[in-house]
Amino acid sequence: MAQLGFIGLGVRRGRMVKRLLAAGHSVTGYNRTKSKAQWLLNLGMKWAETPRAVAEASEITFSMIADTRALTAIAQGANGVLAGLSTGKIYVDMSTVSPAAIREIAQQAEAKGAQMLDAPVSGSAITLDEGKLSFMVAGKRETFEKVQPILLAIGPKATHVGANGLAAAMKVATNLSLAVQMLAFSEGILLAEKSGIARATAAEVLFNSVMASPMVKYRGPFVLGQMPTDAWFKVGMIQKDLQLALDAGRATGVPLPLTSVTQEWMTAARGLGLGEYDFAIVFDVLARLAGAAPSRKP
């Protein structure tokens, strides 16, 4: 079993660590707020005071952080991951961040004799609990092959997509589709409802139609009064990913008109004070304009 490190121990990430512990791995963790990781310490996770200390204690260090700025903060500096890397060690970042930032950190890791993979995940907390989480992974293939068995202890699918930064790019491409799909699903439900079809009936039809992606099946019930109070994927976070996509589109010459429109609807959600909800709350923005009832229970 490997000596692993994990930086960033939020709800979904903590569940990943739980799976790694259950698989028999030794895990040393770090989180800005130690109290949030106490349940993992109770399960046998070890604690480190800095990201550097995690990397020093681990053969393979994982991180899953909110954004590019946060990744830079935990990777750089005297107490960062890079300072704790040495020859033969591996650093795997699972965040949805700028591909350029990934490439820069990967070069710095290589300069220390270590290797880096970017391995963002596709799926939510419920996907993880169901054992359906998947990874897109970029970096040297031989490094991927070393880490793949560990990733498969978390989720059943890990696909190598190429050189460093390409998994981050693939994740951005994936997440823009989630938001665009949710907007389209919301339009379809509201059009059916305002035409005289009960919302629940319209949802049932769409759940069993050709457009019923896993995202629609997971988030579709949200428009029927089942919006979670603990957001799976807050509006601000999907906006971060949509902006990464728009920046990449400009850099590569790919027009992203639907992404641009969806980004503005997410901004409208924040403007209406709905930013702490899952991004599926975009339904309520449209419902308000359509004169329909919101998805949230009073």
What integer is the mean pLDDT of 22-43?
Answer: 95
Angle of helix 99-111 versus helix 68-75 axis, rounded to 10: 10
Q: Give the range among 50-64, 88-102, 116-130, 232-246 with minimum mean pLDDT.
A: 116-130
Q: What is the pLDDT of residues 163-210, one digit of tens each?
A: 999 999 999 999 999 999 999 999 999 999 999 999 999 999 999 999
pLDDT band at 130 (very low <50, low <70, confident <90, very high): confident
What integer is the mean pLDDT of 57-66?
Answer: 96
pLDDT band at 297 (very low <50, low <70, confident <90, very high): low
| Cβ(140)–Cβ(115) below 8 Å | yes
Rounded to an integer, what distance in angstroms lies between the CA atom of residue 75 and that of residue 70?
A: 9
The DSSP bridge partners found for residue 93 are 63, 118
Classify domain 170-290 at the CATH topology level. Answer: N-(1-d-carboxylethyl)-l-norvaline Dehydrogenase; domain 2 (1.10.1040)
pLDDT band at 237 (very low <50, low <70, confident <90, very high): very high
Torsion of CA 256, 260, 262, 268, to 10 degrees: 180
* 171 tagged catalytic: yes
Domain 3-163, CATH homologous superfamily name and number: NAD(P)-binding Rossmann-like Domain (3.40.50.720)
Domain range summary for the chain, segments of one domain joined by +: 3-163, 170-290
If you average pLDDT over each of 116-125, 127-136, 280-289, which comes out highest?
Answer: 280-289
pLDDT at 298 over 60: no
pLDDT at 40 over 60: yes
| Cβ(105)–Cβ(87) below 8 Å | no
Report the Cα–Cα distance between both ends of the chain, in Å, rounded: 50
Catalytic residue among 18, 112, 140, 171: 171
